[in-house]
Structure 1
Amino acid sequence: MAKFSCSLRKPVSQSNQRALLTFYYHKVEKGLALPSPRKEFGALWITGNFLPLLGSYVKDFKIDEVVASSCRALQAYIDIHSRDFEGESVVLDAIEHALQRVNYSEVEAEGGTRAILASSIASASQIDFEAFALARHSIRNFAQRDVERQVVERAVSIARTAPSVCNRQPWRVYGLTDKTKIRSALKFQNGNKGFGEDIRCLLLVTGDLSAMISQHERNEIYIDGGLFSMNLIYALQALGLGTCCLNLCLPYTQEKRLARFYNCPPQLRVIMMIAVGHLPDSLVVACSHKRAVSDLFDWCD
């Protein structure tokens, strides 16, 4: 993992630096989202780490979304200090100087905080999620209809809302709709016998090690990738498609062959495949009995 992960001291590649910028600007956002933000919170790492990295990134690469999000988070930092605190500030002067050197206004990307109402969350949540979740099944009998790519892309867009460590979003999805390529990809997976030939769309979810900061986060791509995958599965269901998760617990050499088949960059690790398809009017699914809550949950106080 150390070969690809970024370091708090020496990020190497552009993807490493993007991840670290995201780490820092999201720290600013989290501090601003507290009930009572502290005056000059994070001053040491903002001036000592965040601003120098932002400057070098803009110099070496371009003003992109991560730069715009960083700058808007820093501007929000200035705004809240102007509103709630008095007195001169070295960190605010440093931020203002850095922002004056970056023209990010034309790049669309959010940064900082936004106010929302509990009622708006409640209004958007007025669905029977229990019924929706109970209606999800692993589908192994797809209708013989092509899956529209734009529907899958919409589901991926919805799935982006999954939480991830410091908002680093280490996932990347690869899709196939060509039958021949799907059959070739499925040779790496042993759980599709009897229905693999009917799969019209196959997704591969991967995790990016370059988004991780240290070896302590070695499992984070699988945690974040799993959260994203579940979001994606529910999004596909909400858009009228069925799915079947296909595990990829592969030996390292076989995983590398699969990655080469998909032409994945070397810093990516495979997480799972997802078979996607339209539902026939009626079908049979496995009962898949679930354990009782008492078997998997305990109060600890």
Structure 2
Amino acid sequence: MVKRILNKILATIVPLSVHYNNERLRFLKYSIMKKAQSDKNYILTNLAILTHDIEKGMSLKNPRKGFGKKKIEQIMLLLDLYYRKYKDNNFIIENANKILLTYYENKELYKFDEELCKKCLEFTKSNESDLGTITKSTINTKFTNFSDFAKSRHSVRYFLDKSIDIECISKIVDIAKSAPSACNRQSVRVIAIIDDSKINKILELHGGAKGFENCKVLFLITSIISKYTYQGETSTPYIDGGIFEMNLLYAMHSEGVGSCPLIWNDNDGRDKALREIISINENEIVTGLIVGGYYTDYIKYAVSKRLPTSEILTIIK
């Protein structure tokens, strides 16, 4: 009897442990966590992260004066290292140069350090700015095809000071639930928070949402773990959650509600703190957050240029 129970436990635990260990080793091997700072992927990945941070700062309605000095200095150091070692140009390098130019062009508006801005100009290889603007009337245009609609959606970080009614929230989720899921298990659940105090507490806990204004709804996306069956599906709740989240972003856009998705780093301490702010079932894991609110009349957003299709598409004939 005892032997049978032990065998049953081992039959579950051993494959799960092997799966987790293989995933961990793959991550350690190929992520930039253990890479040398002169490694090409290390430089390019950090440049992508740093330039997006600067874009986000400049897309805020009221950014802190003189923000981003250390990150701009890091961008220039990484660019210098890249040029000395690799010399070739690519999309991320071009984008980093555009960000430096944008930083320089906005030196008076944001009270940036004058000497730092001069250095930015020295690094600049392009004359194209990377900060976009759009009006609400343009967003509200009824698009005749999905391509135009999808490309018109941008993450925004400040919203109209107007509450979103529950009927609108329900309609958004009703549209989003058309998202596919593994075997149609529909594991995703949505918690829509409209309480200002709770929204602010969660954004503060998140740590990467500074400068947001008038967030009127915070969607918390979860997946029910008990909908999945074996160790090969440990990542599937996050995949299902991600598919649903993208559908939710489009649904918000279609209803004139701006949005910005936030990655949720659910370390044990943060996850526990979140569950103390709002009630989340123990068999659910958080896969992502989305802040939202109605669009203002004039919107500033980070362009966040995308890689050329040729760099992400492989066709096998």
Question: Which TM-score tier does this pair reach, normalised by the shorter chain?
Answer: 0.5 to 0.7
Q: Which whole-Å CA distance do the structure 2 matches of 1:236 and 1:193 have between them?
A: 22
Matched, 1:170 2:183: no
The residue number in structure 1 matching 2:128 is none
Matched, 1:151 2:168: yes
Q: Percent identity?
A: 34
TM-score using structure 1 length: 0.56
Q: Residue 226 of structure 2 is aligned with which of 193, 207, 210?
A: 210
The residue number in structure 2 matching 1:185 is 202
The residue number in structure 2 matching 1:245 is 261
The residue number in structure 1 matching 2:304 is 288
Q: Residue 270 of structure 2 is aligned with which of 254, 265, 268?
A: 254
Q: Deviations over 1:222-241 (max 9, x none)?
A: 00110001111101111111
Q: Deviations over 1:272-291 (max 9, x none)?
A: 11001000111110010000
Give runs of ≥4 in structure 1 deviating > 2 Å.
none
Q: Which whole-Å CA distance do the structure 1 matches of 2:309 and 2:316 have between them?
A: 15
| Local SS of the residue matching 2:249 | helix
Q: Which whole-Å CA distance do the structure 2 matches of 1:259 and 1:157 have between them?
A: 25
Q: Which whole-Å CA distance do the structure 2 matches of 1:145 and 1:220 have between them?
A: 36
Normalized per residue, which structure has more helix?
2
Matched, 1:265 2:281: yes
Q: Which whole-Å CA distance do the structure 2 matches of 1:230 and 1:183 have between them?
A: 23
- Alpha-carbon offset, residue 212 of structure 1: 0.5
Q: Deviations over 1:172-229 (max 9, x none)?
A: 111111111111111221221011x521111100111011011211111100110001
Aligned partner of 1:236: which letter? M
The residue number in structure 2 matching 1:137 is 154
The question of whether the paired residues in 2 share the 8 Å contact of 1:174 and 1:262 is answered with no
| Local SS of the residue matching 1:283 | strand
What 5-or-longer segments of structure 2 have no aligned partner?
A: 1-142
What's the C-alpha RMSD, in Å, of the aligned pairs?
A: 1.3
The question of whether the paired residues in 1 share the 8 Å contact of 2:206 and 2:264 is answered with yes
Q: Which whole-Å CA distance do the structure 2 matches of 1:288 and 1:149 have between them?
A: 31
What 5-or-longer segments of structure 1 have no aligned partner?
A: 1-125
- Alpha-carbon offset, residue 261 of structure 1: 2.3
| Local SS of the residue matching 2:206 | coil
The question of whether the paired residues in 2 share the 8 Å contact of 1:259 and 1:270 is answered with no
| Local SS of the residue matching 1:187 | helix
